[in-house]
Structure 1
C-alpha cells in the first residue's frame, strides 16, 4: 500500500488557524498557500503521473474544532490504461464540532482501459460542515472511458447522511437510457452538515439530514464545469 497524504489543521489558543500535520504521500504533496484570515489553505500538488495499475492513492484529512480548511487541487488526475490491472483512490475525512472543510476537486479522468475504485469516507461531528466539488470524466477526448466505481459514505453526528454506490464499471450498461445514456461527464457539488440557501435548481436533491447536492450530466466537461462553478461560488459564501 502506498503512503497516504496526511493533512491536519486546528485552531490554537489564540484562535489562529494552524496546520499541525502536513505529510506527503506517494502521489500528492500538501503545500501551504497564502493564508486567509478565516481559514488555512492547502494545495494538493501532484508529484507523480496519474494512476496506473496497482496504484493506491490515499488521503487522510482532519479538521479540528472550530477550524476551517480549504483544499485546492491545481490540476486534475488521470487514470491511464491499466492493462488488466486495477487502481484505488480513497479518502478519509474527519471534521470536528464547528469545523469546516471546503474541497474544490478538479476533474478525475478515467481513460480507456482503466479500472478504478474511488472511496470517500467522511465523519462529521455535530455542527461540522463540508462542501465538496467532484467531477468524473469517462474517457479522454475520443474515448469511451474505462471502468470506475465510486463509493461514498458520510455520517453526521454518528448518523448516516449520504451513502452512495455509483457503479459505472460496465460501459455497456451505463450507456443505457435512464442511466448515463450518451453522457460521459458526472459533476456534483455537495453540501454536508448544512442546507445551503439559494434559488431552486432542477437538479438539486435534499439529503435525509442537513445537506444538499446538485449533480449534472453532460457529454462534455466545459458546460458542467461552468455551472458547477456558479453553484460552488453561491454555496461557499458564508
Structure 2
C-alpha cells in the first residue's frame, strides 16, 4: 500500500537539518589514448563507481545509498569533460521521489563538454510517488564541436502496482548553451492534480510515463531519420514518438501509458543515438 496524498502540514514532521543533501562532481580528461577520471568528489549519501570499459570511453555510475529522495532532500551533480575526452554517466537504478510534506525535492545537474569531447548523460528514470514534489534543473555548456546525448525520463507512479500520482508537483528547467550562447531553453511545470492534468489531450492524453532526449553532434539528420523510422515501427505500440531538429539540436519526445513499453523504446533509441550498448545497469 502507499500513503494517499494529503495537504502539507504547517510544521514539518522532520526538521530541515536532518534532510539529505549531497552530490557528486566528476572531472574527465584524455591521456594515453583513453579517457580517465581526473577528479572525483562525493558528498552526502551519493557515490560514483567506474566499471571497467574496453574502449577509450570512461563510464561512471551514480549511486544514491539512501535508496530514494523525499521532500527537502537535495542533490547536485557536476560533470566536466576536458578536450577530446569521451564519457558515459548513468545511474545504478531508477531514482525514487517519495511523498513530500510540502518542501521540494531538488536535483541540480551541470554538464560542461569541452572541444572535441563527447558525453552521454543517461540516468535511469525518476519515479514520482503520489504527493512527490520534484524541482529539477539541467544546465549544459557545450563547445563548438562537442557532442552530447541527454536522456531524462519520468514515471508518474508505479503503474505496475496500480499506483497513480494523484497529486504533487514537477518543475523541470533545461538550459543549454553552445560557446556561451543560449540554444535551448525549456521549462515544465505540473502542480496539483497531476493525474487529472496528464489525462488531458493537450498535455499527455493519459500517458503515465514521459521522456525527453536531446542530441548535439555532426549527424543530426541521420539521427532524426532513425528516430522517425523507429516511431513508424512502433506505430502500433502504446508509445508515441515525436522528433525534430531545433537549431543545431535533435529533440525527441516519448509518451506512453505503459512505463515498461516506453523504457523498451527508450533503450532502442539511445542505442541508435549513442552508437553503443547502454551501460549494464540498465539491464540489471
- Give the TM-score normalised by the residue count of structure 1: 0.92
| Alignment of 1:218 onto 2:237 | no
* Structure of greater Rg: 2
Higher helix share goes to which structure?
2
CA distance in 2, matches of 1:15, 1:60: 24
Find 1:7's aligned residue among 19, 26, 29: 26
Find 2:184's aligned residue among 162, 184, 193: 162
CA distance in 2, matches of 1:80, 1:10: 36
Superimposed CA distance per residue, residues 15-74 of structure 1 (whole angstroms, 9 cap, x where no aligned partner):
332101112232421111102322111111221131112101110110110000111222
Find 2:269's aligned residue among 219, 228, 231: 231
Superimposed CA distance per residue, residues 118-141 of structure 1 (whole angstroms, 9 cap, x where no aligned partner):
100000111111111221111123
| Alignment of 1:140 onto 2:165 | no
How many aligned residue pairs are there?
236
CA distance in 2, matches of 1:222, 1:166: 23
**Alpha carbons of structure 1 residues 45 and 225: separation in structure 2 relative to 1, 3 Å:** same
Residue of structure 2 equivalent to 1:102: 120
Q: CA deviation at 1:196?
A: 5.5
Q: CA deviation at 1:102?
A: 1.0
Consecutive unaligned residues of structure 2, counting only runs of 5 or more, are 1-19, 232-241, 277-284
Residue of structure 2 equivalent to 1:184: 208
| Alignment of 1:111 onto 2:141 | no
- Give the TM-score normalised by the residue count of structure 2: 0.78
Runs of 4 or more above 3 Å deviation: 172-175
Find 1:150's aligned residue among 169, 172, 185: 172
Q: Does the CA-based 8 Å contact 1:58-1:90 persist in structure 2? A: yes
Consecutive unaligned residues of structure 1, counting only runs of 5 or more, are none
